[in-house]
Chains A and B, each alone.
Chain A
Amino acid sequence: MSSATAIAPNYELIQQDGLETSLLEVSMGPHHPSTHGVFRMDVKLDGETVVDLQPVFGYLHRNHEKLAENMSYLASMPFTDRLDYFNSMTNNWAYALAAEKLVEIEVPERAEYLRVIMAELTRLVNHVSLVGFFINDLGALGTPLLYAFREREKILDLFEQASGARMMCNYFRFGGLRNDVPEGWLDRARDVVDRFPDFLDEYEKLLCENEIILSRTQGVGNLSRELAISAGITGPMLRASGVNYDIRKVDKYSIYDRFLFRVPYSDGNVGDCYDRFMVRMLEMRESIGILKQALGGIGDGPVLGNAPKVFKPKPAEVYGRVEAPKGELGFYLIADGTPKPYRYRVRPPSLINLTVLRDMCLGQKVADAVIILGSIDIVLGEVDR
């Protein structure tokens, strides 16, 4: 038994400086600690450097879109929770927004406020745990992740008290929300929101100046402004590449025009992992601002408009989109006059942001490929659907 072929038949022998050498092909995933689910990267390594990368996914495909075309509009709502299972509230919202456009349902004001509150809490949950996972990918032993989860837990408790479930909230309905929040919930939410900035201060102190994190993330996984735009990247990743684009500002859907908030974005010189990480850190501060305004301005009233549970919309095409924490989440529906949608299509931000993975990883080290994947912020439920 001799030579490299005995170890791995897929070694590729190449000549380099008169030496016979070879690339190492490693299949990272689907059972890899830091592929964020069942994602696989077929990586070709020259030593530690990535010379080729092929993303392989589909392990979590659950036929979401075709299933939705075979059930009533309402019945797909719980399935949207399972797309990006970190942010079920914003998934619900995007779908509800599309369906409300289809049948033209008015949403009561209290419901709009609660929707904004839920969506911004979701954004906090997503960003805070993303940063935790990201630093975990960098090799920290779970400390930032567990701090993040400690805070996430408080918000999930709020979700549970309002909707009965921590992650699969299934809380939004066409025309409002399934039920009003229980008594005292708003005070508890105010309490959580008021204490969140203290945690963010601590988190920033722990992470944002750390020399190791700075040198690990800066200049790694650069995504140029042009490539980001032409690849259709959205969300914090696009803003990290220097494009000021936030659907909350562009569409002003729901009642986002009533709140004062700013959208952080980088100057677009690099668009590396550090930018993506920092944009999310800064976005959380803005979300807290929105939450404080929304929790201050919310009034009494019904939370569910006059909407039928099961309906037959007139033939039409609609596209509803929200600024989900990961990017633009859109639902495209074609109604044909039956109680079921003729076509149901999800625009998943995770999948579309993932398309530039190869461009960002080439020439980087194998350790960088892991953090670049982490900084994209994918959830496989949404990528594979």
Chain B
Amino acid sequence: MSLLGGGIFKGMAVTLRNFVGSYFYKDRLTTNDYSWRPSDKLPQRAGEYPKEEGEQLRDTTTVTNYSRNFPMLLHDGSEPMDTIRCVACQICERECPPQCIYIEKSTEKKENAGGKPQFFPATFDIDVSVCMSCQICVEVCPFDAIVMNSQFELSTPDRFGGLLLRRDDLLKSNGYYHKIHPEEATARDKRIAEEKAAKEAKKKAAAEAAKKMAEEKAKAEAEANEGTPDMEENTE
């Protein structure tokens, strides 16, 4: 036979313990009070988080290694358009689930970071009011040209123009990428280097094989008829 109203008293004991505990245990009172930050420390314009030194690493709940907000385009050098990785292949535009990317391919080729003439995006717009930060574009990109930015202070008084990020807004350096996602960026760079090395090794092997073949051919035919190995790079 239980006490009359015993369940209610038990519940009240729990709430009382929480009431008292919220003053003593940080585990109970999980609410962070961040708004007392001095007003000159509050972000003044987009992209000013995190404000304080080391805040990003300490407060992993706010910005994590894998945090993704909206995509950005990577470039490797100081002059963005000279070293842009994107070759306007439009795979991301096709695969984007909410169809928020709009790309116009350039009409002529231009040398990019790899030192080869490539197409580049004449227009590359992302409508961030439509984008849902799903990272599919990053995953399908064969050139590692588009990655996720973790910048989330993008509010703007201009509903239409302000939320349409143009190519020049999207271009960010690889160094910036290393800063916001160090682990991911290092892994990506390592993979690119490996792929490049593998490709070069393959190319070298192919070239050597061709050379060998050519030498053999030359030997066999004893003529000055040299065979040109196929140097064309398979881009897609």
Contact = CB atoms under 8 A, between A and B. Distances in A.
A213 B5 CA distance: 12
Interface in B102-151: 132-136, 139-140, 148
Interface stretch (A49-57, A154-162, A267-275, A370-378): A154-162
A209 interface: yes
Interface in B1-31: 2, 5-8, 10-11, 13-15, 17-18, 28, 30
Contact of A161 (B30, B64, B133): B64
B30 A150 contact: yes
Interface stretch (B33-41, B47-55, B65-73, B219-227): B65-73
Given A71-B97, A74-B95, A165 B7 contact: no
A208 B64 CA distance: 37
8 contacts: A78-B132, A147-B18, A161-B60, A161-B66, A165-B68, A182-B66, A206-B15, A212-B8
A143 B64 CA distance: 30
B96 interface: yes
Nearest to A154: B30
A191 to B, nearest CB: 11
Contacts of A182: 64-66, 183
Interface string A210-231: 1111100000000000000000
A211 B12 CA distance: 12
Best-surrounded residue of A74, A165, A179, A205 (most CB of chain B within 10 A):
A165
Given A161-B64, A179-B184, 5 more contacts: A150-B30, A157-B60, A161-B61, A164-B67, A182-B183
A90 interface: no
B18 A164 contact: no
Contacts of A208: 7
A163 interface: yes
B61 A310 contact: no
| Chain A to chain B: the 8 pairs with minimum beta-carbon distance, closest first | A78-B134, A209-B7, A164-B66, A206-B14, A75-B97, A164-B68, A210-B7, A206-B11
B61 A160 contact: yes
A309 B66 contact: no
A116 to B, nearest CB: 20
Contacts of B134: 77-78, 168, 170
Interface string A344-379: 000000000000000000000000000000000000
A202 interface: yes
Contact of A157 (B7, B15, B61, B65): B61
Contacts of B61: 157, 160-161
B56 to A, nearest CB: 13
Interface in A166-191: 168, 170, 173, 178-179, 182
Interface in A249-293: none
Given A75-B96, A75-B97, A205-B10, A168 B64 contact: no
Contacts of A210: 7-8, 10-11
Q: How large is the interface on B (under 10, 10 to 19, 20 to 34, 35 or more residues)?
A: 20 to 34
A153 B30 CA distance: 9
Contact of B10 (A161, A209, A310): A209
A43 B233 CA distance: 69
A161 B61 CA distance: 7
A280 B136 CA distance: 35
A178 B10 contact: no
A207 B13 CA distance: 12
B196 to A, nearest CB: 20
Contacts of B13: 205
A72 interface: yes
A42 B65 CA distance: 47
A126 interface: no
Contacts of A206: 10-11, 14-15
Contact of A207 (B2, B6, B11, B96): B11
Given A160-B61, A209-B6, A178 B18 contact: no
Given A160-B61, A182-B66, A76 B97 contact: yes
B235 to A, nearest CB: 17
B135 A164 contact: yes
Contacts of A164: 64, 66-68, 135, 148
Contacts of A214: 7
Given A72-B95, A210-B11, A170 B135 contact: yes
Best-surrounded residue of B6, B13, B61 (most CB of chain A within 10 A):
B61
A211 B8 contact: yes
A6 B133 CA distance: 52
